[in-house]
Structure 1
Amino acid sequence: MDTTLQDPLVGQVLDGRYRVDARIAVGGMATVYRALDTRLDRVLALKVMHPALAADGTFVERFIREAKSVARLAHPNVVQVFDQGTDGSYVYLAMEYIAGCTLRDVLRDRGALQPRAALDILEPVLAALGAAHRAGFVHRDMKPENVLIGDDGRVKVADFGLVRSVDTVTSTTGAVLGTVSYLAPEQIEQPGAADPRVDVYACGVVLHEMLTGEKPHDGDSPAIVLYKHLHEDVPPPSALVPGLAYELDELVASATARNPGLRPYDAVALLAQSREARSRLSDDQLDAVPPQAASVAHDRAEDRTSVLPRALSVRPLPVDEDGPEPGAGILRTSRLESGPPLPPRRRTRPPGRVYALVAAVLLVLGVGAGVWYINSGQFTKVPPVLEKTEAQARDRLEAAGLEVGKVRHEYSDTVKRGTVVSTDPEPGARIRDNDSVKLVISDGPETVEVPDVQDYRLDKARTALKQDGLEPGMVTREFSDEVERGSVISTDPAGGTERRAGSAVAIVVSKGSPIDVPDVTGESVEDATADLEEAGLKVKVSSEEINSADVDKGAVARQTPEDGTTAAEGDTVTLTLSKGPEMVEVPDVVGDSVDDAKAELEDAGFEVDEDRGLLGLFGDTVKKQSVEGGESAPKGSKITITIR
């Protein structure tokens, strides 16, 4: 049975803008739908909080916190949030739609991954978390389910629902937030602690799972798993995958140290360790297929060019038995004659086969010289210097017999100021002794001043932010008596604040002065439309009609939003009309006992009134009913039974 068809939101339009097309996933807090933004004509994901939770201020605050946090992260590896709002009892986020799968799907289908694939997934995740950590946020719920892999190969981090500021401690009254398999020990001992190193620990567990196909700690109950996180180190991946490179064991051990003080201080630091570990691995180590893999993947061996030296065999040239010597440089014993030898005939040019022989000899000599040159120690590898200071990089390069070439600086959002962003040639590349290596040193993130766009129209404000090197972030709308509808009330961060270039700036736009939605239930469509339009609201009549025992057929039975709700000028009120009362067949209870008659009528949806009179004070049999059995009456109406 198609459960999507039973979802009441599928086919509806939320907030007069987002058409819900299909349900994608259901979680404990919200349901995610694929939807169409009818204003911008783009497909997006709509995350809608379960209506039962919308009345809980704590859940709503957490939901909105996710939107505001992500809106400040303009990062290519973070799922973007475009909008946040409410429609009646529905609280929603409009988010970037990623067509693809989760890392959990990949692990379920493929088992353990090749080290190259595991690092290709880990590093964009760390880049996303690094941006969050440097912006002052901690994710706190990293797991394969929250890593999205698009059909185009892009890796994105999703679900910042548990995000917290680094300097914030959550009051959880002892509750442990997050998923037990990926919790750091300090999250278990001190629930609510917010520190970037809890995300580092979770990423180490995820890397272990990608390399081995298994979680490092398992048990028959969550309590056993939590105990192991507290008292047992994460085992090295090579214990399950023999032959796995030591550098990968070292990377997992560093990220999952039980003492947080021994871990990298944030995802940016772990990303640097991951890149350095990768630079020390050979192609064979990176492309090794683990035995736990569900299927043997193509190792791309034929995609890499290989030079296989081999000995060259030189065939002897043929000799003309009846002619002269084959040419200069080729020594051959002449035939014995009875008289003096005849002088050789002169040729105007050497024969072509002599050229071929000379070329072959030169080729042999060239190959031999090349092999000698390569094997004579004239080449070395560029040592790993990423994330090192310029002085440390110089020392390493000089120790390897290399010189430091041109040094230039560039801004970097993820690499610490004063350390190496990249080298040319890159680390691990083969290079001649005494050659120079160019360095790129980080100047840290580029910072710009947020422009003051208060009272700007939204499109003009967005243009101003882009011109100053910033990204327009999530747009929310609030009522304002001072700021004109459609103009900017404020931004977060505020104008004049210094922020790194490319940061997202959240914008609050005025909805104008608030309007109290009038109550039009029970009115005709014409009267209801006139009242609402007079109040400055638009009207939409739903194609759906509902039964109502209190409202006449064709009149307004329900309105969304309801009366007493505050709306903005130009907002739409949806009217649902009445089909009149639901008609139900009345059961025949004449001759039944009073108790049986009442039970049968009430089960059919009617109210029951007893008429005993003087003669029926002590009777127990129904002699008459106000609506005869077999006829129809409005459900919920009153049926009188006469008792004698």
Structure 2
Amino acid sequence: PHTNQHPVFAEEEAHGSERRYKSNRGLIILLTIIALLAVGIASFLVIRSIQTEAEKRAPVAVPKVLEMTEDDARAALRDATFQVRVEHEFSDDVEQDKATRTDPEEGAMASKDSTVTLFISDGSEQRTIPKDLANQSETAARDALREAGLEVGEVSRKNSATIPTDWVIGTTPELGSKVKAGSEVDLILSTGMVTVPVVTEMSRKEAEEKLGAEDIGLEAQFDEVVTADYAEGTLFKQSPAASEDVPQGSLVKISVAKAPEPEPEPTEESSPPESESPDSEESDDSTEESSPSGEDSPPSSGNGPPDRPGPPRENGNDR
């Protein structure tokens, strides 16, 4: 078509418009590619984030920790991305301070960062009452029972010949027996006293052996007492009396019967003749005074028989 422009300049302008069109198209394509790359990268990041979150929330198997020490069991659970809470329990199968189980249990699937309870053994639920509590003070016995996982129950007292006052004689249940953890154990303490046994009507040897026995530990003192009520050598009385309580090692006095000495028999010289009496003696004296010495007295004027000569008179020295 006719134009006012020079044909040469019109052709150059047409070529310039074509170059600008091609340049804009290339830019559009580049921007489109960049936009597509950006969308792709963003999509990848979002998807990766979702996957990561899904992996994070994915359940994990609880590892085996049976019979591990507490420290080793904790480490194994934390390596498996779990939080750990520790509790204690009694176990007859797992020794003390070792892992017994977990909750959730071994092999179970649990979310990462979730809490797993770890159980540690406190040993057997059965506890043994210490045998060495005997002959200890009450304070020491109480401490020993607490260390054994037991409690002190009632306190009673009993006589003992060897254990000092307020020291332990025994326990209920008996020393060395097994009881449930936390059970109460009753203490039996010594009174420091001994019950006196019966030793009368024994021999001295038997009485000494009875009092000196290990479970009595008393001393014997024998005192001879003159009496006709018991056979000689009989142990008929004791002080303190039987069944009395006395301090350990006390002295028991025992009365031993001794026969009384016989009374002395009177001699012949000291007793007057049976045929004589004080009255006849006086009669003889009066007869001697009335008749001459060495002659018989004259017969009496009466009709009675003549007097018979009496027995020879004993002088005072002979008597």
| TM-score of the superposed pair, with normalisation by structure 2 | 0.30
The higher relative CO (CA closer than 8 Å, separation ≥ 6) is in 2
| TM-score of the superposed pair, with normalisation by structure 1 | 0.17
Rg larger for:
2
